[in-house]
């Protein structure tokens, strides 16, 4: 018998989890306190091994980046000079903290690149790697515009955030969003999350935090170049690059036609030349 609530997410995330609806994360970095509870909860639930145990020297960030065995990563950005107008009191830095994660892009470059079908789109509109199919070709790795998915040296397969596919199937919100003490990580259906995020930006602007903007929601920076939306989208307070995000990512598959088309055209042109040169000479 199970001690789990049948629809736990109703209580923890205020939402039903039903197949056929698009779910995502809204990571509101303006309230992140850098506690790294999300990193720990992710490691525990997904049974991911620890990595480096040293100190990176990069502020309080000793995780440094996402990897095959790290699916949430809290970035720490200390800014001493963020207000060139001199309004910042001396010695008072600004802290930007942001919990990074796989963006579950739509369309997802890693999925579009995967030749085995190991990467698929789930009934919750999330992107998952099936470990029993991946053969470690590694093509998803350079395909990802955000440097997320990676091969693991131990098992030779690609790994990344599953948005807790197993938990979603059981009616539970993903582990990171459930533990986040400030609601910086919010999980829910996109048709509720996106308006909520828009309202949050408006509220921050009203309060004078006019730096706030959405990254990855449809029509916003991050959802560019053929990538329609990032199901895991963010509220950011500085340029995307500051958080290690590209300002205008593009869908790699859009480059197949120009590369292959020009290649074949050049080949055909030289074939014509060859047909002339290889013929009998007078």
Partner 1 sequence: MTVPSLLPKYPRRRHGPQGRLDLSDAWHGQSYYGQPALKNPQWDWKVSGYIAVAGAAGAAQALSFLGSLRDREVFRGARRNANLIGLAGAAAGSALLIADLKTPKRFYNMLRILRPTSPMSLGTYILGAFGVTTAVSALGDLAPMRRRPALRRVADVAQAGAALSGAGAATYTAALMSATSNPYWAAAPRGLGAQFATSAVAAGAAALALGERAGGRSGSARRLEDVAACAAASHVVASLAASAGRRASGVGPGPGEGGQPSGSTKAVVMGALPLAAYAMGRASRSPPLAVSASLALIAGSFLLRHHMLEQGKRAARRPATGFRFAQPHNLPRRRRLDRSG
Cβ closest to partner 1, residue 2 vs residue 92: 92
User: Could you say whether residue 55 binds partner 1 (CB under 8 A)?
Assistant: no
- Binds partner 1 (CB under 8 A): choice among 109, 174, 188, 216: 109
The contact mask relative to partner 1 for 62-101 (x = CB under 8 A, - = no) is --xx---------x-x----xx-x-x--------------
Q: Which does residue 72 bind out of ligand SF4, partner 1, none, counting CB within 5 to 8 angstroms by kind?
A: none
The residue range among 27-35, 150-158, 164-172, 176-184 that interacts with partner 1, by the rule CB under 8 A, is 150-158
- Binds partner 1 (CB under 8 A): choice among 113, 164, 168, 230: 113
| Min CB(256)–ligand SF4 separation in Å | 15
Cα 124 from Cα 111, distance rounded (Å) = 15
Angle at alpha carbon of residue 228, lines to 223 and 233, rounded to 5°? 50
Cα 171 from Cα 166, distance rounded (Å) = 9
Cβ closest to ligand SF4, residue 162 vs residue 184: 162
Cβ closest to ligand SF4, residue 68 vs residue 204: 68
User: Could you say whether residue 20 binds partner 1 (CB under 8 A)?
Assistant: yes
- Binds partner 1 (CB under 8 A): choice among 41, 42, 128, 148: 148
Q: Which does residue 190 bind out of ligand SF4, partner 1, none, counting CB within 5 to 8 angstroms by kind?
A: partner 1
Q: How do beta strands 105-106 and 229-230 pair?
A: antiparallel
User: Could you say whether residue 245 binds partner 1 (CB under 8 A)?
Assistant: yes
Residues 117-136 contacting partner 1, CB under 8 A: 117-118, 125, 133-136
User: Could you say whether residue 192 binds partner 1 (CB under 8 A)?
Assistant: no
Give me the residues paired with residue 26 across strands. Answer: 186, 233
- Asked if 188 and 14 touch (Cβ cutoff 8 Å), the reply is yes
- Residues near ligand SF4 (CB under 6 A) are 102-105, 108-110, 113-114, 116, 118-119, 127, 129, 134-140, 144, 146, 148-149, 158, 160
């Amino acid at each position: 018998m199970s001690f789990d609530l049948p629809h736990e997410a109703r209580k923890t995330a205020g939402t039903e989890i039903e197949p056929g609806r698009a779910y995502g994360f809204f990571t509101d970095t303006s309230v992140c306190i850098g506690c790294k509870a999300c990193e720990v909860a992710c490691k525990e639930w997904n049974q991911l091994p620890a990595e480096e145990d040293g100190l990176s020297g990069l502020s309080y960030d000793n995780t440094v980046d996402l990897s095959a065995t790290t699916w949430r990563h809290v970035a720490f950005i200390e800014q001493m000079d963020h207000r060139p107008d001199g309004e910042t009191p001396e010695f008072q830095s600004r802290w930007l903290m942001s919990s990074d994660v796989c963006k579950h892009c739509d369309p997802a470059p890693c999925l579009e690149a995967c030749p085995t079908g190991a990467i698929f789109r789930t009934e919750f509109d999330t992107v998952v790697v099936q470990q029993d199919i991946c053969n470690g070709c590694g093509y998803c790795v350079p395909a990802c515009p955000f440097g997320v998915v990676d091969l693991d040296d131990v098992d030779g397969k690609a790994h990344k955030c599953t948005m807790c596919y197993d938990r979603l199937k059981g009616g539970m919100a993903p582990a990171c969003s459930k533990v986040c003490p400030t609601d910086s990580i919010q999980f829910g259906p996109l048709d509720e999350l996106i308006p909520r995020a828009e309202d949050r930006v408006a509220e921050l602007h009203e309060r004078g935090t006019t730096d706030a903007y959405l990254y990855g929601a449809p029509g916003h920076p991050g959802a560019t170049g053929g990538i329609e939306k990032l199901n895991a989208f963010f509220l950011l307070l500085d340029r995307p690059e500051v958080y290690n995000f590209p300002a205008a990512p593009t869908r790699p598959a859009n480059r197949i036609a120009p590369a292959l088309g020009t290649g074949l055209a050049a080949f055909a042109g030289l074939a014509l030349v060859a047909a002339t040169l290889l013929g009998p000479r007078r």
